[in-house]
Each structure stands twice: as C-alpha cells, then as structure tokens.
Structure 1
Amino acid sequence: MTDQEAPQAASEATLAPAPAQPRAPRDILGYLVLITGVGALGWGAVAAVGTGWGYWEYTSGLKGVAGAFLLGVAAILIGLVQEWRVRKSATPPLGARRWVGMLVALVYVGWVGTFLVKALTVPAIHDVSTDLADPPAFVTLQLRADNWDAVPGADDAKMRGLTPEQRWAMVHQKAYGDIRSVRVNEPVQRVVAKAERLAKARGWDVAKSLPAEGRLEATETSAFFQFKDDVVLRVRPSDTGEGSIVDMRSVSRVGQSDLGMNAKRVRSFLADLTGTVTAAQ
C-alpha cells in the first residue's frame, strides 16, 4: 500500500456507517400490567361507588370488588414474571409502565386484603351490644327482619339446642368480651345531650334524641358503599342514684358479617362519651 492509498483507506473506514444497535423490544407485557393494574383499581372503585349510588345491589358490588381483587393479583403476578424475564434479556424494555401498574394493583389488593384478613379474625355477626341479656331496643328505627337468621353455631355441638339469640350472645361474649355497660358520673339527660352532640359531630343521622327517656337512635353511613348501620343508646340512672349506666347497640342493616365495624364503633363512641371507660358494676 502506497503512502497515498493509506490516508484514503483510513478516510473510507471513518465514513463507513457504524453497525446498527439492536432495538429494545416493545414492552407489550408492560402495557398489559399497567392496564390491568389501573383497571383493577377502577373496577373496584366503580363497584363500590355504584352500589352506594343505588345502581345495583350490594351483593353485586361486593362481587365486583372481589373480581377486581383477583384482577389486581393477576397484574402483580404478570409483572413479576415479566421482571424475571427481562433480567435475562440483552435488551430489556423500560420497566416504568410495569412498575406503575404493579404499584397501583398492590395498593388496591392490599386495601381489600385488610378486609379479607379481618373477616377471618372476627365472628360472622353484625349486631353488637354492651348488654347481651337485655340489648337496647330500637323504637324509632327498626331492627332488620333477618337479624337472627344465620347466626353462627347452628352446627356446633356445644351450642346444640340454643336459640339464635343465645348463640349470638355466646359468640359475642367470646369475641367482644371487653364491650360492656359503662358508668358515667353525670345525670341521664346530660349524658344523652352529650351523646347527641357527639353523634352529629361524627356525621351520623340522628333519628331520635329523647334525653328525658334516656334514649338516642342514629344511623351512620359508610363512605363508598353507603352501608347504613343503626345505633341505639340507652341511658338509665344507676342503682345508687349517682351517675348513669350507659348501654349501646350497633347493628348493620345488610350483610352477615360486619368485619368488626360495629364493635369498633361502640368502643370508639363510648370512649369519647365517657372520657375514661369503666365497666359498670
């Protein structure tokens, strides 16, 4: 090669196009995970809100929430499989869509999962009272007609021969033994008036407040499903005439299990009402 040919060869080598870099494959599964994850959240939200607005029965709404839960689980599993695959790929696709979809699905699945766990740890009852022998009675509001249907324990040999009310009392006592009548060192009328203020502050719909009779009835409505739970408060003077004995009952209008919400409501309300809750003797 002559001295003139060498620069020409070098120039041609410089101008030669570089070999094309392999393009990253389209992230089809990433799109799928994103759509599935967001779709699960949307489906669950529509199922809950639609129930609250009266577009369908609550049972259909719960089925929608359950279906969305399974869809969210599928989004997470697909995303994990895709993550395992791309780690072995020479040209892995961007993972932003996949991780966003998985995160959205995880938030929804985790939220619904807390209720599923709760359902496994509380009894399938929807009626909670501080007085099991003589629960406060509803007068203005009505106790649901099927309140004593399907009470747990019908097939339990230990409860054989017991009435539904007796089985309810046994199940209730075992699960919520801390929920009992409380004593308040104030007269009956003042206690009921305070209870009415607390109920309104919590956004409850007060159906009847009768301080002279020692009775308050109200309804709390949940945010999404618009489930309604009825509450009755019974306040009577103590045997010694000093202070009052307060009993409270909270009942869900629909469903068999309340996921512990009525017990939580009774504990919280009585704690606010009394300041320091002590069992009545």
Structure 2
Amino acid sequence: MKTSTKVILVFVICQILILVGSPFGYRSGLFDLMTALGGFAIAFAGGALCLLAIIGLVIAGLVRKQPLDKGALIVATVLALVPVGFVLPQLQKANSVPPIHDITTNPMDPPVFFEIKKRRVHALNDLVYGDAERSAEDMEALQDEFYPDLETLLTPLTVAESLAQSEAVLRQMGLEIINVDPALGVVEATDTTQWFQFKDDLIVRIRSESGQTLIDLRSVSRVGQSDLGVNAERIRRFLQGFQSPSS
C-alpha cells in the first residue's frame, strides 16, 4: 500500500509541474499555445485519475484491512485537487459563454482602434467585427443573448471629463494606457492576463450627441477563439467603476 501511495504522490506532483509549466513554456516560446492548453488538459485528467486511484486505494485498504499511509494520501489528495480545481471552472466557463473574443457595448457601430492597431501586427485575431464564421449580425445576436447588460453608457459629464475619468478607471483596473486622444475622444489600453500573459485590447470611445455624452467600449483578445467571458467582464468592470468612481 505504501508503495502504491508513493507512486500516486509522484504522479500527482508531475501533474502539478505540467499545470504550472504549461503557461511558462508558452510564454518563453518553448512550445505553442495548443501544446500549452494540452498540458492543462493532461494535468486535469491526471489529477482526476489520481483522485480515483486514491479512492480505490482507500477502499482496497479497508477491505483487506491493510495499513494506509494516511499522511501521504492526504497530501496526494490535496495536490490532485489543484489541477482539477483549477481547470474544471475554466471548462464550465467555456460552456457557459459564447465562443467569441470581440465584445462591445455597441455592436451596430463598434469603436475602431487607432494606436493599438500597430501593436497587433502578430495577433492571431484581427480587429474586423465579425468574420467568415460569424457575421456582425451573428455577433450582435450572441451578445444580446449572453451579455444583454452591456450597453452604451449615457453620462451627464462632458466629453473632456469623461475622457479623464475613463483613463483613471482603466488605470485603477490595472490596464496599460496606450493612447489618450482628446480630438478623437478615445482612450486605448491593453490588459495582460496573469497565467499566459495574453494581451487583450480595449478602447473607450466618447462622443457628444444631442446634448448627451455617449460612452462605448470594445474589448478584443489577440489570441483565442473564446475569451471565456473575460472581455465582457472587463467592460462590465469599467462601467461599474465609471459610474461609481473611488475617491
């Protein structure tokens, strides 16, 4: 029993190393994105397999009345839960959001990027709203279904005041400000994800119309078909922060 427990413990440690090593390998250029995501899948499957093996080992020990290395089993169980607990919510999230990566508060007239275009030369995703797989109308329908709360923000602030507040909110959110253009009424910024350090670009467009100030946003991932809802959540955080600025 002790030998089996040690084998499980070594195996689950390998899954942890795969889980942690996958994003670092991608970021350092050792392998591509699909390989890194495959590493996550392997770590998840390995962690789940370890949990099943631990359950089987405990049952066998109880039936045969053989001593168990309880300390090692507890450690192995905790470690096995790490990849399972990390990857499973991502899989659940992927199944609960549409497989798109370009989100805006105004699908009929999405904001256009300016300065950030220069930084997306090697991006796998372009900045065209809609593509051969999904038209702009399809994108709008998906947004209406999954993100109906994301709409143009009307504010009593002037364009200049809105521009300054937008920049402040984005900085509070931790985004890198790329461009602030008062003439165009836009703020462009880039967000970097923690694990894989993916770059997602966001633009705030501010316009005056019929005596009102209208604020629209667009957040686009440079990599990946599905953003797992990150772009919508980023826009949502901005809207909440803009309407309830911290002092």
Does the alignment reach a TM-score above 0.5? yes
Give the match for residue 34 of structure 1: 9
Unmatched segments (≥5 aa) in structure 1: 1-25, 153-163, 277-281
Letter in structure 1 aligned against 2:207: R
Q: CA deviation at 1:198?
A: 2.1
**Contact residue 205 and residue 220 of structure 1 kept, 8 A:** yes
- Bigger shift: residues 216-225 or 203-212: 203-212
**In 1, Cα distance between equivalents of 2:11 and 2:91:** 21
1:201-228 CA-to-partner distances (Å, cap 9, x unmatched) read: 3321211011342101111000110111
Q: Does 1:187 align with 2:158?
A: yes
Query: Equivalent pairs: percent with the same residue?
Result: 31
One of 90, 94, 100 as aligned partner of 1:125: 100
1:77-116 residue pairs with structure 2 within 5 A?
Answer: 77-116=52-91
**In 2, Cα distance between equivalents of 1:176 and 1:82:** 46
**Contact residue 58 and residue 68 of structure 2 kept, 8 A:** no
User: Cα gap change, 1:36/1:271 in structure 2, threshold over 3 Å: closer, same or farther?
Assistant: same
Letter in structure 1 aligned against 2:157: E
User: Cα gap change, 1:57/1:150 in structure 2, threshold over 3 Å: closer, same or farther?
Assistant: farther
Which 4+ residue blocks in structure 1 deviate beyond 2 angstroms? 52-56, 142-152, 200-203
**In 1, Cα distance between equivalents of 2:111 and 2:214:** 12
Q: Does 1:257 align with 2:238?
A: no
RMSD over equivalenced CA pairs, Å: 1.8
1:95-152 CA-to-partner distances (Å, cap 9, x unmatched) read: 2112211211112201110010011111101110000100001111127338544645
TM-score by length of 1: 0.80
**In 2, Cα distance between equivalents of 1:85 and 1:169:** 55
**Contact residue 125 and residue 151 of structure 1 kept, 8 A:** no
- Bigger shift: residues 207-216 or 113-122: 207-216
Instruction: Provide the secondary structure at the position in 2 that maps to 1:233.
Output: strand
**In 1, Cα distance between equivalents of 2:182 and 2:127:** 30
**Contact residue 52 and residue 227 of structure 1 kept, 8 A:** no
